[in-house]
Structure 1
Amino acid sequence: MDLAQRLLEINGAGTLQQLRTIREEVQERVSALLREEYRVVPIVEALNELHDALIRRVLTLAEQDTARMGLVAPPVPYAYFLFGSGGRGEQTLASDQDSGLVYGDCANPDEAELAAAYFGALGSRIVASLFEIGYPPCEGNVIVSNPEWCLPISAWEEKVDRWFAEPSWENVRYLLILADARLLAGDAELGRRWKGRYIGDMMSHADIARRMLENTLRHKVLIGVFGQLFVEHYGENAGSLDVKYGAYIPMVNIFRLLAMRADIPATSTLGRIQALREIGALSGDKADEAAWAFEVVLRLRLLASDRDDSGQWAGSGKLRSAVLDREEKAPLKKALRICRRLQRQLEKEMQRRFGGR
């Protein structure tokens, strides 16, 4: 895959159809690479660099479209963030939109009204444009067209303070979403101020830390005591493995919480593992083992993307058992045993520090 050439094509694209064509060609190429014996990390890194470039180009075209509507330019600086797998730089062939937007405060109510109108229109245009090139909106509505996720910095700070003050399950879930936030475009200083408001405080609240642990341990790995893999028993996915929620998400959750506890700013899972190694929170052997296990899971998660009835790529996270031969199952089982051990270690450490179950 000629990454440099693809990036040039994306940056020079003037229409959404051109971007969609590029994305579909990239999906085909990456799918072919996965069937060959390529290392997964370079593939994921290149794929996510292309995702980033596509989304940034959509933002530029959306600004131009918004200007044609009569809203000529952003009235104040703004920062556009990705959450979820986009924030972690771990998007697959099929990826939805998880995003937020923060913009600067205005000097008076008239400016504030103008800014709300501009960014409301821009957010809607971004979402519609990304959908047009193949990124469906987040099912949970964590997206810039939702006014709750497109706010001035002062309103965002008040919202986050309320989440800290009332650590309900939903509010803690939102704080965990913010922990994966990655600035993709816009004003870097505004982005730093926004993340700096909350990122260092999350683990200083015992109630929130306990709730975060509960959330982190909610998804169990799909391996039994005797080494058997747990498969789906019913429905159209019967016999398949839920790689997303039974392998990938448990590992994401573990290293997110460990990184938050250590005040590590990295958002990618492998970046968090490396940072934990560098500060001595993970030994070299443990970090190598964890990184190896995550790479196994990452590859299988990519393989869990498939075409839907319309021919578009979709990512259910379910891997058909036929895809896993004996050679694939052995490393998966080893990776899952590592993940299960890490879950238990994390639970014990967090209980010693914060109490709880």
Structure 2
Amino acid sequence: MSDPARSQFAKKIASADHIDGIRCLRDQMHEQMEALLPSRPVEQLNEQLNEMHDAIISRAIAISEAEMARMGKGSPPVPYAYLLFGSGGRKEQTLSSDQDSGVVYQDSDTNIEEVKTYFKELCTLIVENLIAAGYPPCEGKVLSDNPEWCHSLSEWGEKLNGWFKEPEWEAVRYLLIIADGRCVYGDSALVDALKDMFYTDTLGHPVIIRRMTENTMRHKVLVGIFGQLLKERYGEDAGSLDIKYGAYIPMVNSIRLLAIQANLRETSTLERIRRLVKERHISAEDGLGYEQAFRFIMRLRLMTTEQIENGVYENNGKLPSSKLSKEMTDELKSSLRLGKRLQKAAYKQAMGRLT
């Protein structure tokens, strides 16, 4: 998509006034970006793709607000921010990404229950409209229409305190989700305030870093001790490579852990790597190697099998090994070795802080 075409497409999204129009534009974006995949530099493609996802999601939220007003529910009673988590929060969505979302809204001294009810109804509508636009809901229920992920700022503070006091596996997973959160719509200052609470408490609780490290090491890189690729052994994906959980997630998690310990607020993996280098938490040589490896893995992730099921875009993150040339296979092995080295470095640094 050339810059003029990109600008024109963004204007079409901004002027869409119904979710059916948003769905048509989403489908067009999918086709156009898929056609660009073989020739466009992956970082440029990723930037354009996520810019379009942001525009579509933001417009769906605005349309949902307008629908609330037409139903007699009024406008948002207080400022709020709509957050994206997961790959959306990291600005690393593929052609098909699910919804990982939450809401933080300004505290109100009056009509507290009315405010809560408004956002519950608004978020229900937003999630439904995004499903209609082709974005499936998060299987883990990390969604704005789940009361656990829609709170006032002070309620979020209480929620975070609870997770910090009882750092069980699920609580730590939720804290890591918050680390990737960013504002896609609304008042970004509310997200900044939420992140201030997150980082202050995280860095003040060594046990949290330990638990985050355990979570980070959970997904192993899909390369064996002899340098062989570890392929899926059973089922319909037998012989394929789990790019999402065996290559992409291990690098994402390791870089995120390093960034949290360094109190860095960036959410995208490449931006985190660059800041870690700039702040001298990793060497320039290592940073360059991690960047190159991550960009290649991002390209493979964009090549994983896409399909539409029940009207939404789906992707299981698996890549048939037949899609890889010998050169790509060699580069993947090299990238995975770097990923494994990164995991070890992240573990060593975290454990060093705790001794």
TM-score, L = length of structure 1: 0.96
| Residue in structure 1 matched with residue 52 of structure 2 by the alignment | 50
Alignment of 1:78-97 (within 5 A): 78-97=80-99
Alignment of 1:193-232 (within 5 A): 193-232=193-232
In structure 2, distance between residues paired with 1:210 and 1:159: 20
Mean CA deviation greater in 320-329 or 185-194:
185-194
In structure 2, distance between residues paired with 1:166 and 1:180: 21
Are 2:36 and 1:33 equivalent residues in the alignment?
A: yes
In structure 1, distance between residues paired with 2:175 and 2:256: 12
Are 2:6 and 1:3 equivalent residues in the alignment?
A: yes
- Sequence identity (%): 48
Alignment of 1:65-80 (within 5 A): 65-80=67-82
Are 2:12 and 1:17 equivalent residues in the alignment?
A: no
Q: SS state of the match for residue 94, structure 2?
A: coil
Task: Give structure 1 regions of 4+ aligned residues with deviation exceeding 6 angstroms.
Answer: none
| Residue in structure 1 matched with residue 166 of structure 2 by the alignment | 166
1:94-116 alpha-carbon deviations (Å, 9 max, x no partner): 011100001111113xx111101
Mean CA deviation greater in 267-276 or 98-107:
98-107
Are 2:136 and 1:136 equivalent residues in the alignment?
A: yes
Alignment of 1:1-357 (within 5 A): 1=1, 2-34=5-37, 36-108=38-110, 111-308=111-308, 313-355=313-355
Q: SS state of the match for residue 306, structure 2?
A: strand
Shift of 1:270: 0.1
Mean CA deviation greater in 133-142 or 312-321:
312-321
2:79–2:105 Cα contact (<8 Å) kept: yes
Shift of 1:312: 5.5
* Structure 1 gaps, min length 5: none
In structure 1, distance between residues paired with 2:201 and 2:9: 40
1:281-329 alpha-carbon deviations (Å, 9 max, x no partner): 1211111100000001000011114124668642110001111121210
1:92–1:305 Cα contact (<8 Å) kept: no
Equivalenced residues, count: 352
C-alpha spacing 1:47/1:116, structure 2 compared with 1 (3 Å): same
Q: SS state of the match for residue 236, structure 2?
A: helix
- What one-letter code is carried by the residue in structure 2 that aligns with 1:320? P
In structure 2, distance between residues paired with 1:309 and 1:276: 40
Shift of 1:138: 0.6
Shift of 1:44: 0.4
1:64-109 alpha-carbon deviations (Å, 9 max, x no partner): 111122111111111111000000000000011100001111113x
- What one-letter code is carried by the residue in structure 1 that aligns with 2:16? A
Q: SS state of the match for residue 286, structure 2?
A: helix
In structure 1, distance between residues paired with 2:308 and 2:234: 20
Mean CA deviation greater in 304-313 or 140-149:
304-313
Q: SS state of the match for residue 102, structure 1?
A: strand
* Structure 2 gaps, min length 5: none
Shift of 1:346: 1.7
- What one-letter code is carried by the residue in structure 1 that aligns with 2:103? L
Shift of 1:24: 0.9
In structure 2, distance between residues paired with 1:227 and 1:310: 39
In structure 1, distance between residues paired with 2:233 and 2:245: 15
| RMSD (CA atoms) | 1.2
In structure 2, distance between residues paired with 1:187 and 1:353: 35
Shift of 1:215: 0.4
Shift of 1:124: 0.3
2:233–2:239 Cα contact (<8 Å) kept: yes
In structure 2, distance between residues paired with 1:121 and 1:101: 12
Shift of 1:189: 2.2
1:176-201 alpha-carbon deviations (Å, 9 max, x no partner): 00000001111122222122111243
Q: SS state of the match for residue 345, structure 2?
A: helix
- What one-letter code is carried by the residue in structure 2 that aligns with 1:33? L
